[in-house]
Amino acid sequence: MPLVEVIDVSKEYANGEETIRPLDGVSLSIEEGDYVSLMGASGSGKSTLLNLIAGIDQATAGEIIVAGTDITKLSRGKLADWRAAHIGYIFQTHNLIPVLTAYENVELPLLLLPMSSGERRKRVEIAMEAVDLTSRATHYPRQMSGGQEQRVGIARAIVANPTVVVADEPTGSLDDETTEQILQLLSRVNEELNMTLLMVTHDADAGARARRRIRLERGRLMENGKELQTAKLHTA
């Protein structure tokens, strides 16, 4: 059974009297340990799909099943709890809290989980070591480069050992050299830690690093030039 199943999912927005539908009955399966890039033109809906899988937004229709849980059926409160336990999110602009050190920024997701201080410390140290930033643990964001800040963001995303790591344009604000370093790090996260990774990007070179490359075109998902077939909704 796939780790992530997106089944006949649509998303609609009202814009005055007009209805905008960035996703129109899309389906996607992602296996545990996979690394998938999601590409498409600006405004094609790729970040919308990412946020639906991450439980940040809600689908208009269809099912999204992650590790056996249909998250479209969860209440807002339960969805927030589920998201804290299962999703690691890497942002384009780091989203670090400036008054917290690198260590404290990485620790933040763990404060939402039932965990001892000793266990939190151990996990933060492992995550910081994984992104080669142990020496920067006591530094504040203003004391780090953009690439170092993004490494902190990656450590924060993986610290709780999430079911899925999602990345929304993780290299979009970085120079070429730093982009290469971050892409290598994401590959390590996938290969060495066996973390399932879904990355939205507009950069063809970045997208090519993934094991699977999917495009979103006119509300439809395409892989290897073919539309991904709509899966059937589960019935009770």
The domain spans of the chain are: 31-55+74-214
* H or E segment to which residue 181 belongs: helix 176-192
Tokens 């902190």 sit on residue? 152
Q: Give pLDDT, residue 224.
A: 87
pLDDT band (50, 70, 90) for residue 233:
low
Q: Give pLDDT, residue 54.
A: 96
Q: Give pLDDT, residue 235.
A: 54
Q: What is the mean pLDDT of the chain?
A: 92
210: burial class by Cβ within 10 Å (0-12, 13-18, 19+)?
buried
pLDDT tens digits for range 73-116: 999 999 999 999 999 999 988 889 999 999 999 999 999 889 99
**From CA 71, how far away is CA 196, in angstroms rounded?**
18
Q: How far apart are the first and last CA of the chain?
A: 18
Q: Read off the DSSP letter of residue 136.
A: G
Q: Give pLDDT, residue 231.
A: 61
CATH class entry, domain 31-55+74-214:
alpha beta
Strands (E), 67-195: 69-70, 87-90, 164-168
Share of the chain above pLDDT 70, in %: 97
Query: Which residues are bridge partners to 200 per DSSP?
Result: 38, 168
Q: Give pLDDT, residue 15.
A: 82
**228, two tokens:** 């991904």
81: burial class by Cβ within 10 Å (0-12, 13-18, 19+)?
middle
Mean pLDDT confidence for 127-136: 94
Distances (CA, A) of 69 to 121, 136, 188: 29, 37, 27
Amino acid, single-letter form, for residue 207: G
Strands (E), the chain: 4-15, 18-30, 35-39, 61-66, 69-70, 87-90, 164-168, 196-200, 212-217, 220-223, 226-227
Q: Read off the DSSP letter of residue 232.
A: P
pLDDT band (50, 70, 90) for residue 120:
very high
Q: Give pLDDT, residue 218.
A: 80
Q: Read off the DSSP letter of residue 46.
A: H
Question: In this model, does residue 11 exceed pLDDT 70?
Answer: yes
Q: Give pLDDT, residue 26.
A: 92
pLDDT tens digits for range 26-82: 999 999 999 999 998 887 889 999 999 999 999 999 999 999 999 999 999 999 999
